[in-house]
Amino acid sequence: MIRHVTAAVLFAAVTAVLADDHFDRTLSVGSQPDLYVSTGSGSIRVNPGSDGQIHIVAHLHGGWGGGGDVEARIRQIAGNPPIQQSGNSIHVGESTDRSLFNNITIDYEVTAPPAVALNLRSGSGDVEVNHLGRFLSGTSGSGSVRAHGLRGPAT
């Protein structure tokens, strides 16, 4: 009996700590938008899509030691994604409340028009761009930055 209770408590603790969620948004833009994506922890992958749209899919993962509120913060981020649009300029992952993102990894998969200007930053994770971008500025604190088939300069 004690083993069953211990196993149930352990399972509940592990599933609460390893919380996951996602969000999916499509934004209308012109043919040459500016896209800024930032994540403290996680990967950023950008692939070509159709003119006039940026499609963002984010996968959120809770880490160990994030405290009891990781699952609630993940639900909060998924319910109100950190995406801001001002005309042809899209900002993803920026927030004034950095504590909201503690111990949470966000992996971004984005499709964008081929003539997009990209500013991509990951604190810990890979940045990958495939066959698009009139401009690329990409950095990662611990991860690689890979660009294939860029259509403009990179810094």
Are 46 and 56 a contacting pair, CB within 8 Å?
A: no
Structure confidence by residue, pLDDT tens digits, 74-90:
999 999 999 999 999 99
Structure confidence by residue, pLDDT tens digits, 27-71:
999 989 999 999 999 999 999 999 999 999 999 999 876 566 899
The Cα-based distances of 131 to 27, 41, 56, 72, 151 in angstroms read 20, 24, 17, 37, 7
| Burial (0-12, 13-18, 19+ Cβ within 10 Å), 57 | middle
Structure confidence by residue, pLDDT tens digits, 123-153:
999 999 999 999 999 999 999 999 999 989 9
Q: How far apart are CA 29 and CA 83, in angstroms?
A: 14
DSSP assigned state of 115: T
Tokens of 8: 């149930």
Are 58 and 107 a contacting pair, CB within 8 Å?
A: yes
Identity of residue 107: D
Measured in whole angstroms, the distance separating CA 36 from the mean position of its chain's CA atoms is 11
Q: Radius of gyration (Cα) for the chain, nearest Å?
A: 18
**How many Cβ atoms sit within 10 Å of the Cβ of residue 35?**
23
Domain boundaries defined on the chain = 2-148
The overall pTM is greater than 0.85: yes
DSSP assigned state of 40: S
